[in-house]
Amino acid sequence: MARPVLPRLRAGALANSAREFLDFRSRTTSYQPLPSSYEFLSSSTEHEDTSVSKKPKRSARTAIMVLLIVLLVFIGGFGISWARTDSSLTEYPPLIDATIDTLIAGLDNKKFTSVDLVNAYLARIAEVNGTLYPVTEVNPDALAIAAKLDEERSSKAIRGPLHGIPILIKNNIGTDDGMTTTAGSWALMGAKVPSDATVVEKLRAAGAIILGKTNLSQWANFRSSNSSNGWSAYGGQVYGPYYPNQDPWGSSSGSGVASALGLALGSLGTETDGSITGPASLNNLVAIKPTVGLTSRHLVIPISEHQDTVGPMTRTVKDAAYILQAIAGVDPLDNYTSAIPNTQLPDYVAACKISALSGARLGVPRNVIELRSDNTTGPVVEAFEQALKVLRDAGAIVVDTEFPAALEFRNSDVPGRVLDADFVVNLKSYLDLLTYNPNSITSLEALRTFTQSSPLEGYPLRDTGIWDEALQGWNNTDPRFWPAYQQNVYYGTEGGLLGAIERDHLDAVVLPADFASSYAATVGAPIVTVPLGSYPSDMPTVANEWGLLDVAPNIPFGISFLGAKFTEESLIGFAYGFEQRTLVRNKIKPYVAPNTELVDVVQAR
């Protein structure tokens, strides 16, 4: 059977807009003043429909139009043409490497403003979004919000370390603003949530700017049995930035690519099993997959109440800790958060100590490494063994351990059946909360009918196999669910991660990131992932049926620290100690990256 050819799908009208952008830039020969935020929005109105006349109409102008039009006016208007000096690069941190601390310093010293940051990030999004498609839409209010936060900073009313810092969020996290929450599907286009998701509410309260929403594997990789990581009907196919046609992994694909390229300070992703840590690994990032219940899932489009969690994806451990500090905590609208052990959260930022590894007892489940190794994982395992030496040299005690049920777990259909059972019920619970539901998507059955009948949804090339299976089985209110769930829990307790931690008196388990996620998923345990290395220049490429490569020269991979529930503080410390001793991220460069920097925006005022 011939391999299907992956279409070069575009996010909304990005294909036409990219061509218009290039045409406009070629006609722009002189410097133009940088538009104010008001002029940005006015310009978008004047140019409406120039590139989308053949696209499906939507019930209202959405934020993606702002992305496609506002950014073209912005970049075409002022052009990036002058030479940067060494001193300017020192004063204005390169955005692909910028940290919260360096941005705070610049903001406090009035080198730039949050409006400057938003403008720079918007320009960077426009530069790469027609190639890699990581962002589905930008917040039409971002500049106004940034201006307000700049005023607060001027009056010394600073909310915290995230004050005025732009962050992107995955497009399954609800926002009650001018953006949509679609999970990558046209089925929810125009649907409205009653309020911001709790994690968004917390970010806004901390002063963060929600810059936009990132593309994802549609329905968080929970629709098709034959689709690709990073594809959604609404957003197109995300590509990783480290090799042409790189698989971005999923489902937080756009969040991974956007954070890797400095399209925002960082991003939020969601994980059921590997959807934060996987894209982080393949995009040279740090990620924290929190314990289920540490961060609220209220108004986040669900898969499984037992496994879903929301966490940060950033370029450094400390930045991830800053964001986790802002979004963690008890929420009466998500009863799983009531399991948080103490009313006072740990200081996750303070956990970032170079000495954290000293005396830590870390386990290596050798049977898992053997089980997961194949003819492509040699460089990963080799780098992992070198990492263990770094950990020992830092004072950690590294011992071998075992997950007794690892083989049975790998061959079991129980984990999938548990997720199916949760999804049918949990999805309906989310849909019931919508205040506006223009396509009347009230159940999984209705969603499947829409998907199979809409020409926009890529069906039947990309099937609905996961939903078909879920609808044929039982849900989590059925008596058959409980024994299946208990079996699933066994794979993560006595048969796996938590059992090994208890038996061998471990502080954490370490694994190559690409081997790790499932062993924490079934019990909702936390993971912190940091960069470990990349495939060598002579590595043969391996493509899937969609032509995407997750094995090729320069594609990164990570190392994961897994712990017992609510041990994020310790895991962050271990990850920080490893990160600071290796600084792997600085050694792996993307093949494509945006050029706009803060200095360009500041000098163009």
Q: Which amino acid is at 482?
A: W
| Residue 532 vs residues 351, 539, 570: alpha-carbon distances, Å | 21, 17, 19
Nearest CA to 169 out of 295, 56, 71, 81 is that of 295
Residues written for the chain = 605
Hey, what are 561's tokens? 């620290």
Q: Annotated catalytic residue: which of 227, 251, 252, 296?
A: 251
Burial label for 160, CB within 10 Å (0-12, 13-18, 19+), is middle
Say which DSSP state 6 is in: P
List the structure tokens of 359.
Answer: 């005396």
| CB neighbour class for 453 (10 Å; exposed up to 12, middle 13-18, buried from 19) | exposed
Using CB atoms within 10 Å of the CB of residue 111, give its burial: 0 to 12 exposed, 13 to 18 middle, 19+ buried: middle
Selected catalytic residue, list 43, 217, 275, 560: 275
Catalytic residue status for 251: yes
Contacts of 443 (CB under 8 A, 6+ apart): 427, 428, 431
Tokens 């929600």 — which residue?
Answer: 210
Query: How far, in Å, CA of 168 to CA of 258, rounded?
Result: 8
Among residues 547, 500, 561, 541, which one has the least CA distance to residue 277?
561
Quickly list DSSP for 123-152: HHHHHHHHHH--EEEE-TTHHHHHHHHHHH
Question: Kind and range of the H or E element at 221?
Answer: helix 218-221
Is-catalytic flag, 275? yes
User: Could you say which of 37, 170, 281, 534 is catalytic?
Assistant: 170
Rg of the chain in Å (alpha carbons): 23
With a CB cutoff of 8 Å and minimum separation 6, the contacts of 28 are: 76, 77, 79
Among this protein's residues, is 587 annotated catalytic?
no
159 contacts 152 by C-beta, under 8 angstroms:
yes
Q: Which residues are catalytic?
A: 170, 251, 275
